[in-house]
Amino acid sequence: MVLSLCLNGVSFIGTRQLDLGWSRDLSLFGFCQSKAGRKAINKSIALRIQAVAAKQDLNFKDPEWKKLYEEEFDERFNLPHLSDVLDVKPRPTTFALQSRHHLGEDNGVPFERRNDYVNNDDRTLLKVIKYSSPTSAGAECIDPGCSWVEQWVHRAGPRKEIFFDPEDVKAGIVTCGGLCPGLNDVIRQIVFTLEIYGVKKIVGIPFGYRGFFEEGLPEIPLSRQVVQNINLAGGSLLGVSRGGASVSDIVDSIQARRIDMLFVLGGNGTHAGANAIHNECRKRKMKVAVVCVPKTIDNDILLMDKTFGFDTAVEEAQRAINSAYIEAHSAYHGIGLVKLMGRSSGFITMHASLSSGQIDICLIPEVPFKLDGPYGVLRHLEHLILSKGSAVICVAEGAGQDLLEKLNATDASGNAVLGDIGVHIQQKIKKHFKDIGVHADVKYIDPTYMVRAVRANASDAILCTVLGQNAVHGAFAGFSGITTGICNTHYVYLPIPEVIATPRLIDPNSRMWHRCLTSTGQPDFC
């Protein structure tokens, strides 16, 4: 059963069967109206309820429902392993650091510490907040009573046993999609960690999946000497591109190159491609481990605290916001407008607005808004100009697409080509203030490619270091079709299908969005 919350109370929506192979954590929006003085407010309040797949219709009246759910959850999050389809035998790990051995006090004989490795049965909780009510801010509930249900996922890190002989391994690294701060940091740590295991053959596949089939794009030999200082620059040593050949052609290339481990850095689309490659390798019974590292400055990968590049993007966005603020406050009736990246998720825009403290209006894809009308953005701008003398707006690129003409086009990755909401708002502001006879000086800043092309900051560099190392540990442990990330401050491995079901979105009922509204002081624009 799914809950829908309106201002005038709580209503229930009957259980619906979803055409999904698994349960998904979805944001379901209920719309309602309430009279509030001078206007009727259209509220979209998200209540996150985990939808139950058609394969398992939970009956919440059954006293065993929680046990059944936990069992199904464990099955979904069980990590694909080479031993599922191949007769592979484990061997003692070759991953060892000098500090791993030290002299005993009595006879001087080296001995091993007992806590160097992660046990295969180690788990970490995916969700750590126990909500007492479905009406709690940001509540994520499975049943109408918002019961606490344990959801355990696999802890990342080196294992005592591995399933590859490092001397025979050839590892490949590929970076796909657009640029993102930290790509070089991840590449660097993957190479470092592979060499510590004893791998001698490491190559980079140039320009994303294109490098598997495009003629004239040879492999790039990688070693510690080659990658030692690449983290000092932005971009990717290997280059990036969108799209690619057929999965069959890519796996043919992997087979011909005799690649045993493939490390794929990319976002949702790239992960989908990597999962298809993993499935094709399993179908052909190839001993190939396919491991992803989630890369997107949009921070829109499900279940994870954050993805690498996000912190740097938020920090870099401050430069554009500060410039817009200075321009706005230095002009008579100045209005600064900044457009930031975020196709379906407004995380960069929200966090940049929060961190800057200079934003009066924050617009994100998850929250619909109107420009015109008595309660639209333009009327609020009038108020800001009259009361403050200036204003600063921050908008995500995917916000307000319902206000623009649809282009009906897609990019090489299959993403819908968006209309330019920044230019649209700029033009609407100019026209509006001209029509009402009030002077307005609008300055528009679009720092899109500047934000994603910079070097990773300290926070992202640390995240990239750990993710790169854990990707290698996962591959040597025999896992394939997985991605590595951070959940509730702990590093984990997750099956790829569970993180690409939908983009991760901001919950308009979450505490973080409420904090943003408190910071900007903006009303509902509907």
- pLDDT confidence of residue 148: 92
Six-digit token string for 521: 């002081």
- pLDDT at res. 59: 87
Residues making up the annotated binding site are 178, 242-243, 267-270, 296-298, 341-343, 397, 449-452
At 22 the pLDDT is 30
pLDDT computed for residue 37 by the predictor: 37
Residue 132 pLDDT exceeds 50: yes
The answer on pLDDT for 19 being more than 90 is: no
What mean pLDDT is predicted for residues 78-103?
83
40, 193, 195 from 292: Cα distances, Å: 47, 15, 19
* Cβ–Cβ < 8 Å for 377, 410: no
Residue 336 pLDDT class (50, 70, 90 cuts)? very high
Q: Which token pair is 459?
A: 């926070």
pLDDT at residue 272 is higher than 80: yes
B/e letters for 332-369, b = 16+ CB within 10 Å, e = fewer, are ebbbbbbbbbbbbbbbbbbbbbbebebbbbbbbbbbbb
Task: Give the pair of three-digit tokens for residue 84.
Answer: 């599922």
pLDDT at 115: 62
pLDDT at residue 25 in the model = 34
Rounded CA separation 55/228 (Å): 49
Supply the mean pLDDT for the chain.
86
Phi-psi region at 357: left, alpha or beta (left = phi > 0; alpha = psi -120 to 50) = left
- Residue whose token pair is 């990330």: 485
What pLDDT, on the 0 to 100 scale, is given for residue 307? 95
C-alpha atoms less than 13 angstroms from C-alpha of 501 in its C-beta half-sphere: 22
pLDDT, position 1: 30
Please tell me the distance from the alpha carbon of residue 67 to that of residue 425, in angstroms, as a whole number. 51
Three-state DSSP class for residue 394: strand
Is residue 427 over pLDDT 80?
yes
Note the pLDDT tens digit of each residue in 274-309: 999 999 999 999 999 999 999 999 999 999 999 999
pLDDT band at 406 (very low <50, low <70, confident <90, very high): confident
Q: Cite the annotated binding site for ATP by residue number.
A: 178, 242-243, 267-270
DSSP labels, 63-118? TTHHHHHHHHHHHHTPPPBGGGTS----EE-----GGGEEE-TTT--EEE-S-SS-
Alpha-carbon dihedral sign for residues 386, 390, 394, 397: positive
Residue whose token pair is 């890519």: 250
pTM: 0.86
- Res 7 pLDDT > 60: no
> Would you call 421 helix, strand, or coil by DSSP?
helix
Compute the distance between CA of residue 106 and CA of residue 334 in angstroms, rounded to an integer.
76
| Tokens matching residue 289 | 């481990």
CA end-to-end distance (rounded Å), the chain: 29
Q: What digits encode the pLDDT tens for the residues 448-501?
A: 888 999 999 999 999 999 999 999 999 999 999 999 999 999 999 999 999 999
Name the burial class of residue 109, with classes exposed (0-12), middle (13-18) and buried (19+) by CB atoms within 10 angstroms of its CB: exposed
The residues near 383 (Cβ < 8 Å, ≥ 6 apart) are none
The pLDDT assigned to 333 comes to 97
Provide the pLDDT for residue 58. 80
Name the β-bridge partners of 290.
262
What percent of the chain has a predicted confidence (pLDDT) above 70?
Answer: 85
Residues 407-433 have a mean pLDDT of 85
Q: Helix or strand or coil: residue 262?
A: strand
Percent of the chain predicted with pLDDT > 90: 75
Positions marked active-site: 298
3-state helix/strand/coil string of 494-516 = EEHHHHCCCCCCCCCCCHHHHHH
pLDDT at 436 over 50: yes
**Sheet with strand 261-266: strands edge to edge:** 123-125, 152-155, 490-495, 482-487, 289-294, 261-266, 170-175, 201-205, 220-221
**What mean pLDDT is predicted for residues 27-55?**
33
Helices 347-356 and 511-520, interaxial angle, to 10°? 50
Q: Which of 25-39, 154-168, 189-203 has the lowest mean pLDDT?
A: 25-39
pLDDT, position 412: 65
Model confidence at 45: pLDDT above 50: no
Enumerate helices (H) and strands (E) in the chain, giving the number of each.
13, 22
How confident is the model at residue 138, as a pLDDT?
A: 87
Separation between Cα atoms, residue 217 and residue 245, nearest integer Å: 14
Higher pLDDT, 18 or 87: 87
State the Cα–Cα distance between residues 211 and 358, nearest whole angstrom: 44
pLDDT reported for residue 75: 94
Question: Which of 406 and 56 is assigned the larger pLDDT?
Answer: 406
Give 218's pLDDT tier (boundaries 50, 70, 90): very high
Give me the long-range contacts of 402-407 (CB less than 8 A, separation at least 24): 402/368, 403/371
Q: How confident is the model at residue 96 (pLDDT cuts 50, 70, 90)?
A: confident
- How many Å apart are CA 207 and CA 42, to the nearest integer? 46
Average the pLDDT over 217-235 and give the result. 96
Separation in Å, CA 520 to CA 44, 346, 348, 516: 19, 15, 15, 6
3-state secondary structure of 279: helix
Q: Which of 25-29, 301-305, 308-312, 319-323 is least confident? A: 25-29
For 346-378, how does the pLDDT look when each residue is reduced to its tens digit (9 = 90+)? 999 999 999 999 999 999 999 999 999 999 999
The answer to whether the beta carbons of residues 330 and 475 sit under 8 Å apart is: no
CA–CA gap between residue 262 and residue 23 (Å, rounded): 28
CA distance 3 to 136: 12
Q: Would the pLDDT of 238 be above 50?
A: yes
Q: Residue 46 — pLDDT band, cuts 50, 70, 90?
A: very low
Locate all alpha helices (DSSP H) within 305-376, ordered by sequence.
310-330, 347-356
Radius of gyration (Cα) for the chain, nearest Å?
25
- Residue 56, pLDDT score: 52
